[in-house]
Copies of this chain bind each other. A is one copy, B any other.
Amino acid sequence: MSPTIDSTIPDLQVINAVVTRSDLELFEPVSFNCTRGQVIHMVGQNGVGKTTLMRSICGFRVLHSGQILWDNKDIEKNKNFYLNSAYLGHRDAHSPLQTAWESLHFYQQLYTPGANKGDIDPLLNKLDLLAQADVSVDHLSFGQKRKLAIARLLLSERKLWLLDEPFSGVDRAGRELIENIFVQHISSMGMIVLTNHGRLQNSQLLGCVSELELFQHNIMLKEL
């Protein structure tokens, strides 16, 4: 699906990104690259702007200044970027009227039309949600919803995962499971950009992690 791989060019480049909220710059300009097999772990105190930056990387928000490139092209209207990445935010993105199975089926159809329905049950099983397959998403517990969102990521088969606190509300066993899933994703040349307040524990995963710390800045807006 992707063009020939030139491994010298990082796939995702964030260059001097500055985001603002009500005319305040949140943190000092941030630059980082993310190449295949790499995990970028964004850390920073509450309110430093991790979610805001993440939403900018998704192209939902416009950066105040700086650039975000995918394969050396700006991500704005860059369909190639969007078709190679998947996003999980603070909200789980399940429509409340569907059951767990239906929600995954819906996303499967969106990501890879015509894919095999049979793949969904094993996936639910993997995340320990098989018993909840026919429960309305609305009725899942806090952690179950989060796990279902992780199942969606797996379904998407995308290279770049953009994850905002993927572990929040997930139990201990689930946490280990998800870290294992990350390891698998990374070892098949995937990329992950995530925020998380706890420490990652899986030693294999830790080998690929670069920590990116955001520092609070809060200076007045400079002239463009």
Query: A: which residues have CB within 8 A of B?
Result: 21-22, 44-47, 51, 90, 128, 131-132, 139-144, 146-147, 165, 168-175, 197-198, 218
Contact = CB atoms under 8 A, between A and B. Distances in A.
A47 B168 contact: no
A197 to B, nearest CB: 5
Nearest to A143: B46
Contacts of A22: 139
28 contacts: A21-B139, A22-B139, A44-B171, A45-B128, A45-B171, A45-B173, A46-B128, A46-B141, A46-B144, A46-B146, A46-B147, A46-B170, A46-B171, A46-B174, A47-B132, A47-B141, A47-B143, A47-B144, A51-B141, A51-B142, A131-B218, A142-B165, A143-B197, A165-B169, A168-B169, A169-B197, A172-B197, A175-B197
B139 A46 contact: no
Contacts of A51: 141-142
Q: How many copies does the complex hold?
A: 2
Nearest to A45: B171
A173 to B, nearest CB: 6
Contacts of A132: 47
Chain A binding surface SS class: loop
- Which 5 pairs from chain A and chain B are nearest by CB? A46-B143, A47-B141, A46-B171, A47-B144, A45-B171
A20 B174 CA distance: 24
A111 to B, nearest CB: 25
Among A21, A22, A128, A168, the most chain B Cβ lie within 10 Å of the Cβ of A168
Contacts of A218: 131
Contacts of A45: 128, 171, 173-174
A172 B46 CA distance: 9
